[in-house]
Every structure is written in structure tokens, then in C-alpha cells.
Amino acid sequence: MVVLERAVRFDEVDAAGIVFFGTIVAYVHEAMEHFFDQLEGGYARLIMERRVGVPAVKLEAEFSAPLRYGDRMRIETSVARVGKRSAELSYRILRERDGVSCATLRHTVVVTDLDALASCDMPPDVRAALEAHLAG
């Protein structure tokens, strides 16, 4: 599991004073970028130099408690499945002050050659990073 901890910022809450559901998806993307920091050059190098992407093809989300401005959260990222060209990542977002689970998401990505915009075999280092965090 790879953990990202951060606070909810002022610009991430809606008129009701809670984090908008679309922002939760942005948090998951941030957690995915953080997950791939373990690769040489991180997610930025994977995308910009190596031209290998991991676009979403499926996203499932369940929301169970609100996050508010100033709350600190813990986003736990693990891997549910690794295939030849795809993987399924799992995320759990917890409110740090009380440990309450606010959201769980499952995110299927397909490894993609960004120049051809076509799926491709998973590079060995990407596979190794994913397999190192397979949930048991």
C-alpha cells in the first residue's frame, strides 16, 4: 500500500461546505501520481518522456462520509489486479481526525502508448511497482 496524506484546501469545497464528489476523483488521480513516484522520474517522466500513459477505462466510487475544509485525509492506494496491459487500483480515503472512511474507489487503467494512443504491454518497472502493492 502507498499512502498519501494531505489537507482539504479551501478551493476544494462546494457551497455546502464539503468536498464535491468530482474533487474526490481528482484526489484519486493525485494518489495515482504519488503511487508512480516510485518509478525513476516518477509519473511525470512516465508520461512526458517515456510516453506511457495509464488512462482510466473504469471507475467505481462509493461515498460514505463528508470531508470538509481543513480536514486532513489519508489516501491508501493498493493494487487489486495486474494484467498484461491493465491494472485495477483501489483507493480508500480516510478522515485522519477520527479514522472514518469517507470514500472507496476502484480504478481500472490500461497501459497506453501515448504517441499511438493504443494499449501496449506493461513496461517491466511499471509491472514491478504494481505487483509490489498487490492487496492480499
Please classify residue 121 by burial: count the beta carbons closer than 10 Å to its beta carbon, then call 0-12 exposed, 13-18 middle and 19+ buried.
exposed
Q: What is the mean pLDDT of residues 64-92?
A: 97
Residue 9 counted as domain residue: yes
* Domain CATH number, residue 64: 3.10.129.10
What pLDDT digit, counting tens, does each position of 1-20 carry? 999 999 999 999 999 999 99
Range of the structural domain that residue 17 is part of: 2-131
Residue 105 counted as domain residue: yes
C-alpha span between 15 and 5 (Å, rounded): 24
What pLDDT digit, counting tens, does each position of 37-61 carry? 999 999 999 999 999 999 999 999 9
Does this model's pTM top 0.85? My answer is: yes
Residue 96 counted as domain residue: yes
Looking at residue 47, what is its pLDDT? 97
Residue 16 counted as domain residue: yes
Looking at residue 4, what is its pLDDT? 97
Whether residue 136 has pLDDT greater than 80: no
Residue 136 counted as domain residue: no
